[in-house]
Structure 1
Amino acid sequence: MIDAINKIFTQEQISQAKQLYEGLTDKQRFWLSGYMAGLNQSGGLLDGALQESSASIIGSNGASEVAVANKLSIIYGTHTGNSKLIAEQFAVLAEAKGIDVSLTSMPEYKNRKLKEEKNLLVIVSTHGEGDPPASAEDFYNYIFGKKAPKINQLNHAVIALGDSSYINFCQTGRDIFNQLKSLGSNEVHELIELDIDFKEQLDEVLPALANKFAGSSSTATNPLVRTTNNELNSDEWIEVEVLDKVLLNGRGSSKKTYHIELDIEDTGLSYLPGDALEIRADNDDKLILSILNQLNIPEDETIEADGDTKKIKEALKTGYEITTITVPVLKKYAEFAHNDQLSAILENKSKLADFLYGLDFLDLVTHFPVSLEAKDLPAILRKLPARVYSISSSYDYNPDEVHVTVGAVKYQLNNRDHFGVCSSFLSDRINIGDHVSVRVKKNEGFRLPSDDTNLIMVGPGTGIAPFRAFLQQRENNQASGKNWLFFGDQHFQTDFLYQAEMLQYRKKGLLSNIDVAFSRDQEEKIYVQHRLKEKGELVYKWLEDGACFYVCGDMKNMAKDVKAELLNIIQQYGNKTKEEANAYLKKLFTEKRFQEDVY
């Protein structure tokens, strides 16, 4: 790369460009990258363009496009940071079209401004089973509340992020889109729904939406510029070697939890505590062959997939989701099945959720047989997304490695074993010396505070992963803040993950407090929220003294129970009403002193 640059530019030009780039803000860098892309599309530099201040640019078709949206407010509600990164990327395109953009996170947005807005873009993810992320709750409640204004003057669009493996896919975005319409706003664009593999869609979706707000009739789109500063577009997959793989559970445990160490030396990969690692997995050959046998499709039959000719077995192994059935997949399959029972399930949302729970594609083709050809499968199935694991190491502590903590997923359904695609790939089919394909997924919503701030960390099971990274980072930084860990699992003897490390941290004083809950070691089940309750007075004192509170792990039950108990603690020891306790917790969230990484 450096040799190529030296052949194109003089050293003086390189020095000038570097000096300019380092002096720019993030927003200026984003804008400049989009601006240069526009110049490249028009075939060269435009005389005096940098000095012009107009509401038009030259589009890819060479025609002048005059912006009708002179001002645009973009607000985003995010959990891991994707909505924010998309918002920043869209701002580049809008500003390059002469639109004056205001970019605000939902917690910082003044809801009363809504009645004055002319143009609004909402970018929001969906949390769990259709709930708004914590950062979007205020805006969501406001537009559905009694104080919501009539907004006939408003033009709006909504980009909704979600995961189609959940029944209520993109539900928060759908709710906001429809509610804005019901309040009188005019839709600039139909609702845009992005699944977890949305990055491929952005090159088409964002420029088209920018054209809508700019009043352009052009359907041409400009490719988005991939800048090193834009974490959303760090799409490069890196092959890394497995250095170590250790089973963390003791003999006799019903669980298999692995600590996996990956070699990232000389890869250029780096990360921060709180970030996650995306890992590409292959589907299991046995499951693939069972599906093909059920469908009477030869494993060596070829199909066209992603512009290449592949054998159907290989296409299913690396390219398509077969261990999880999403609603869109079920709908496509039902078009082939013509089965009344399947159609009835699709029409009943409560039955649909129960039906899809744990189901894989072999279940579907076995219980609702259809006549399919190999070429039909790519049209039905979802692309195989990477799986995401919280990173359990600190880059500063050990810059040559990245660690993950993986709980193997295995369960019985329809009289046979089912396995998680990536957890079984890593636990059963990947060994030391093998290579896996990875990339870092930033998580701006789960970050360490200053070194002198106290931490309360609640992470049962594999939820301990990011807190191992936190502790390594704080040891590396010689942080003065105290650290308190709540950990839980089934049995003390077999399931105390990273026990030796945690006890050593307590001995050294890095862990000021550690409270554990092993649910199956006594008749009455004890969980981390029970330990929180026992230490409620001290927990509240730590919060009053400025501590940050972190939760990682199961979203469906644990995270809700922990949050409920925390509210009880605030109410009891803060002598507050329920409303005051909620306001206290909301303030913690706004100040980034309450953070969740739940799944």
Structure 2
Amino acid sequence: MNQFSFYLKNLLFTPIYEQGDILIGYASQTGTAKGLAEKSAELLQASGRSASCLPLSQVSVEELDNYQQVLIFVSTYGHGEFPDNGIAFFDRLCERTNPLNTKVDIFAIGDRNYGLFCEAGKLLHEQFIRLEAAHDNNLQLVDGAPYQRWQQWFADYSGLNPDGSVLDGPVQLAMTLTERGELHSQHCSIERGAYRLRFTLAQTDKTIQFQSGDLIGVVPPNETLERLYSVSDVFDDGVELCIGKVVYQQGEVEVVGKCSDYLINRLSLNQPIEVSHRAQGGLVLPKPQQPLLMVATGTGIAPMMCLLRERVATGASASNWLVFGNRHSEQDFYYQQDLEQMRSSGQLSRLDLAFSREGDKKVYVQDKLQQNRQHVLRWLLDDNGLLYVCGQPMLKSAIREVLVQALQERLGDATEAKVQYQQLLDKQQIVYELY
């Protein structure tokens, strides 16, 4: 057994009266780190240890000294970004100057195909080293699907047998592409556009129940990188995905997205495909009485369509407000007929549109929020509503700027506005799903 194995095994499984409680914290964007943290806590509790499991948004840096054993599970998403429920904790950790009286180990999840691999875990680790709570060997970096690595790591260092069959990880499914149709108009340029793809289970499986917030993972042939897609509709026997073309210039070379090209152009109708299914890894269905404000750009409309359809199907009483943005209303107004019908029937209380290539001035979804910022705050603060955002990463900073400004106008204090915004993130009243 190597030095790290010996250290962690003794750290985790010294009797409680000698070492005190274990804190397991997590920062998770799509639920993977959360699932691993919860399963680790469950196994430790079953072995007789006293273990608490909390999102980092509910963990006080000052209270870490109350624990002699701390494990943190953290994912990295986007361009090296922290999950929303880990941002405030990291900021407070950076502000602390005196050493911590605890020991911290970090299980960091990332993907080497992206830049800044496991950046969130590395940044946390640097701070814990500075605060004398960790050493170089207290950081575990995991590339890609973490479940097998976690099982090996946990078994090695704890002496327990983590039964992978009860871990809520992705499930591999055999499906068939049964329908594919254009969501863009015939006027759309050849390098743009999006498609509606219907996938059906190859065999009926009553144990699989699809729902809004689910994610489907696809790995193109001869590739290793999995691409996750939010479902845009669910059925008893399958799902619908909204797949956008990905074409861009890299110098003088035209680059085509491998996964989108595979699904749009190379996967034939009635051809089988292996996918992974993550239950509610994305934007989950709100309570029926909670107002829902959705902001989407491009194919970020996919999870919003599924949420709207399920809200309608379940008879949710609260209002639905969608702000959708793309380039041209006559080219890429995805799901136009569906949305206009929902608005006419009252199922969609409000529909705001931002098409950036129309008119003399470019208009984006954040501009629509800016124009209605106090109305947005009433939804969030007075009506306990939710704000879901899906689109490209730059949306986050733009929308944050609008909301913090609106909060400052309402509260009269810039610092308090930033605190209030972070609290809305921590309570998951504001949730971002970025790609």
Could you state the TM-score of these two structures normalised by the residue count of structure 1?
A: 0.66
Q: Distance in 1 between matches of 2:209 and 2:276?
A: 10
1:193 to 108, 125, 141: 141
Distance 1:404 1:249 in 2: 14
> 2:230 touches 2:282 (CA, 8 Å); kept in 1?
no
CA contact (8 A) 1:256 1:407 kept: yes
**C-alpha deviation, 1:79, in angstroms:** 0.9
One of 74, 87, 90 as aligned partner of 1:124: 74
- Aligned pair count reads 417
2:418 pairs, out of 561, 568, 582, with 582
Q: 1:518 to 1:244 in 2, by over 3 A?
A: same
Give the structure 2 partner of residue 240 of structure 1: 175
Given that 1:238 and 1:267 are in contact with CA atoms closer than 8 Å, whether structure 2 keeps it comes out as no
Which one of 547, 551, 555 corresponds to residue 389 of structure 2?
A: 551
* Separation in structure 1 between the aligned mates of residue 398 and residue 65 of structure 2, nearest angstrom: 37
* Contact 2:173 2:277 (C-alpha < 8 Å) held by counterparts: no
Counterparts of 1:10-49 in structure 2, within 5 Å, are: none
CA 130–450 in structure 1, closer or farther in 2 if over 3 Å, else same: same
Kindly indicate whether the alpha-carbon contact (under 8 Å) linking 2:184 and 2:333 is maintained by their aligned counterparts in 1.
Answer: yes
Mapping of residues 439-478 of structure 1, within 5 Å: 439-444=276-281, 446-478=283-315
- Following the alignment from structure 2 to structure 1, what is the Cα–Cα distance between the partners of residues 229 and 294? 18
Using a 3 Å threshold, how does the CA distance of structure 1 residues 542 and 93 change in structure 2: closer, same or farther?
closer
Q: Which residue of 2 aligns with 1:350?
A: none
Instruction: Return the match for 2:14 from 68, 77, 80.
Output: 68
Partner of 1:203: 151
Q: Give the corresponding residue for 2:6.
A: none
Deviation of residue 575 (structure 1)? 4.1
Cα distance 1:99–1:223, how it changes in 2: closer, same or farther (>3 A)? closer
Structure 2 counterpart of 1:263: 200
Deviation at 1:452, TM superposition (A): 1.4
Alignment of 1:82-481 (within 5 A): 82-95=32-45, 97-145=47-95, 147-151=96-100, 153-187=101-135, 189-210=137-158, 224-228=162-166, 230-232=167-169, 234-235=170-171, 237-254=172-189, 255-264=192-201, 266-268=204-206, 269-282=208-221, 317=222, 321=223, 384-393=224-233, 395=234, 398-413=235-250, 415-444=252-281, 446-481=283-318
AA at the equivalent of 1:408: K
Change (3 A) 1:168 1:508: same
The one-letter amino acid paired with 2:204 is D
Q: TM-score, normalised by structure 2?
A: 0.90
Distance 1:68 1:250 in 2: 65
What CA deviation, in whole Å up to 9, does each residue of 1:285-308 have, x standing for no partner?
xxxxxxxxxxxxxxxxxxxxxxxx
- C-alpha separation in 1, matches of 2:213 and 2:412: 32
CA distance in 1, matches of 2:12, 2:432: 43
Structure 2 residue identity aligned to 1:224: P
Q: Which amino acid aligns with 1:280?
A: V
Displacement after TM superposition at 1:99 (Å): 3.0
SS across alignment from 1:392? strand
Q: Provide the C-alpha distance between the structure 1 equivalents of 2:281 and 2:274, rounded to a whole number of angstroms.
A: 23
Question: SS at the partner of 1:385?
Answer: coil
Contact 1:122 1:157 (C-alpha < 8 Å) held by counterparts: yes
In the alignment, structure 2 segments of 5+ residues that lack a partner are: 1-9
SS in 2 for 1:123: strand
Counterpart of 2:298, as a letter, is G
Alpha-carbon distance in 1 for matches of 2:253, 2:122: 37
Q: Could you tell me how far apart the structure 1 residues matched to 2:411 and 2:136 are?
A: 48
**Distance of aligned partners of 1:547 and 1:186 in 2 relative to their CA distance in 1, 3 Å threshold:** closer
1:507 aligns with 2:334: no
CA distance in 1, matches of 2:209, 2:296: 24
Do 2:107 and 2:141's aligned partners in 1 also have CA atoms closer than 8 Å?
yes
1:3-37 deviation per Cα after TM superposition (whole angstroms, max 9, x unaligned)? xxxxxxxxxxxxxxxxxxxxxxxxxxxxxxxxxxx
Give the AA of the match of 2:108.
A
Deviation readout 1:419-467 (Å, 9 max, x if unpaired): 2121000011123222221221234562222111111100011011001
User: CA 1:519/1:90 → structure 2, altered by over 3 Å: closer, same or farther?
Assistant: same
Counterpart of 2:5 in structure 1 is none
Shift of 1:93: 4.2
- Greater mean deviation of Cα atoms: 201-210 or 88-97: 88-97
Aligned to 1:525: 362
Matched, 1:568 2:408: no
Q: Which residue of 2 aligns with 1:37?
A: none
- Larger fraction in helix: 1
Q: Distance in 2 between matches of 1:263 and 1:531?
A: 37
Counterpart residue number, 1:484:
321
Q: Give the CA deviation at 1:201.
A: 1.6
* 8 A contact 1:245–1:431 mirrored in 2: no
Report the Cα offset of residue 408 of structure 1: 1.5
Report if the CA contact (8 A) 1:445-1:595 is conserved: no
| Whole-angstrom distance in 2 between the partners of 1:98 and 1:187 | 27
Pairwise CA distance, 1:68 = 1.6
SS in 1 for 2:285: coil
CA contact (8 A) 2:210 2:236 kept: no
Q: Max radius of gyration: which structure?
A: 1
Offset at residue 242 of structure 1 (A): 1.3
Distance 1:209-1:266 versus aligned 2 partners, 3 A rule: same
Amino acid across the alignment from 1:540 = L
Q: Relative to structure 1, is the Cα distance of residues 416 and 182 closer, same or farther in structure 2, using a 3 angstrom cutoff? A: closer
Shift of 1:550: 0.8
2:433 alignment partner in structure 1: 597
Percent sequence identity over matched residues?
A: 26
- The residue aligned with 1:334 is none
How many angstroms apart in 1 are the aligned matches of 2:427 and 2:358?
Answer: 38
Tell me by how many angstroms 1:96 deviates: 5.3
Distance 2:11 2:407 in 1: 55
The alpha-carbon deviation at position 131 of structure 1 amounts to 2.8
Match of residue 4 from structure 2: none
